[in-house]
Amino acid sequence: MDYSIEAEEKLNGYSVICGIDEAGRGPLAGAVYAAAVILPDGFEHPLINDSKKLSEKKREELFDVICSNAVSYCIGTASEKEIDDINILRATFLAMKRAVDGLSPRPGLALVDGNSLPGTGIAEKCIIKGDSKCISIASASILAKVSRDRYMKKLAEDYPEYQFEKHKGYGTQLHYDMIKKYGISPVHRRSFLKNLDLK
């Protein structure tokens, strides 16, 4: 983890900086999640990393660490209907903007994982593979992933036949089999399934 990224941006005049990342762009069901996190100056933690590199148990532990240490954090979402209406990329950017809008104090700069600027209304800087380089982005990655996984487990209680707790909505063989058996539910992304043969 490069702990100098936020410090360098503060030297450039940005006193309040947040990291942003998303979870759930690829699944066939459920909302897309984004998190925005402002960490205190100099915050370091040896285990915080890209959420995909951590076990579910470790992510849950770090979720509490991040929430208890953050200056501010917010989880933003865009629903499956919004995804169908405006497409997944725009819906992801909408979730990111909602996350930034929920922060207090309002940051002057957002460090964003990836190569596309979401348009949050503040200065933005993309960092490729930022979730493994920048601690505020990595922290956002963990908050978004854990929040979405918890949400998918709740959906599993509401729609047990789809077994969302196992695949979290991703396009596994099990998930496709359940869709073919039970049809498309109200929480599925219809735009992701329009070419699916349900016969």
Taken in order of first residue, the domains within the chain and their CATH numbers are 4-147 (3.30.420.10)
d(CA 43, CA 31) in angstroms, rounded, equals 30
pTM over 0.75: yes
pLDDT tier at 196, thresholds 50, 70, 90: confident
Q: What is the pLDDT of residues 39-66, one digit of tens each?
A: 999 899 999 987 788 899 999 999 999 9
Angle between helix axes 56-69 and 135-158 (nearest 10 degrees) is 120
The one-letter code for the residue type at 132 is S
> Counting beta carbons within 10 angstroms of the beta carbon of residue 196, is it exposed (0 to 12), middle (13 to 18) or buried (19 or more)?
middle
Residue pair 158/152 in contact by the 8 Å Cβ criterion: no
**Structure confidence at residue 9 (pLDDT):** 86
pLDDT tier at 198, thresholds 50, 70, 90: low
DSSP letter (8 states) at residue 196:
-
Tell the residue number behind the tokens 């890209």, with chain if given.
50
